[in-house]
Amino acid sequence: MNGVLITGGTSGLGYEAARRVASGRDRVVVITGRDLDRAERAAERLGAETGGDVRGRALDLGSLAEVRRFAAAHRGEGLPLDAVACNAGVQVVRGLTYTRDGYETTFAVNHLAHFALVDLLLPMMAEGGRIVFVSSGTHDPAQHTGVPAPRYTSTAELARPPEDHSPEEGRRRYATSKLCNVLTAYELARRHPELRVNAFDPGLMPGTGLARDYPPLMRWAWRRVLPMLTLVPALGVRTPQRSGAALAELLVAPRFADTTGRYFTGLRPTRSSEQSYDTKIARELWEGSAELTGPQTG
């Protein structure tokens, strides 16, 4: 039996996607979280709810050494992977923070760590294996999400940006990291045609942990008020259950077995931002990320 790996699977989108995949009972589902106890408890709940084989693993995406440790342990376990969902993410808006590797946190966790993780797990991917990078509509200025437009400069500058601690720049860094997810998905699809690589916009999902770094009033509104907007379908606000089901479909549904190099809004293939199709930027991001993370990708 092969496996499906979902980073950030202890709650929200990742948890709901894991629930759907585990319900099929034909694959081992591995979910990760920064805290091992929490990951194992979430896996136990999912296993009890679905009857599937769900395993919780610790993975701190704020440390490239931990990413390497996790990948080495998984390779040692010998579990081939049918699919990987690069789902876990952060949004730091209260100041400028850095990971243990000295890289800006949002960029490092949302992009660099997943870039390294995929690179290290390529030998474990089954033939026709799928990789889905969870992005966001914020990567596209044309969508007018209210988040500042992404600003791609260079991989080196995104990793160590100018000292701007404003919340606006924090949100811009998040949007830029989501652009990097799409650029990486397209470049990986070009470099590895034997895989099926896509990017996924789950839509606005209030109530999840993404706003944990926002001021108290905004966190309260995110948890208590904005979820009510899911009752108005025209607004495009989604529940983690709905988006998790869509992510699970992209990971395992037979109808997407031959789909690669696409961007999905929910289950609808759409165009991503104009900049996301810039192959020159994609190559610079790829090569710069390989230099920053250590492992070289084919």
Domain residue extents for the chain: 3-203+238-293
With 60 as the cut, is the pLDDT of residue 208 above it? no
Residues 244 and 19: beta-carbon distance below 8 Å: yes
How far is the CA of 287 from the CAs of 73, 187, 269, 284, in angstroms? 26, 11, 28, 5
Write out pLDDT tens, residues 27-85.
999 999 999 999 999 999 999 999 999 999 999 999 999 999 999 999 999 999 999 99
289 has a pLDDT exceeding 90:
yes
Whether 67 contacts 117, CB under 8 Å: yes
Domain covering 3-203+238-293 in this structure, CATH number: 3.40.50.720
pLDDT band at 206 (very low <50, low <70, confident <90, very high): low
The pair of three-digit structure tokens given for residue 150, joined into one six-digit string: 């992404």
- Cβ atoms of 44 and 56 closer than 8 Å: yes
Question: Shortest CA distance to 182 belongs to which of 200, 168, 166, 196?
Answer: 200
For residue 239, the model assigns a pLDDT of 77
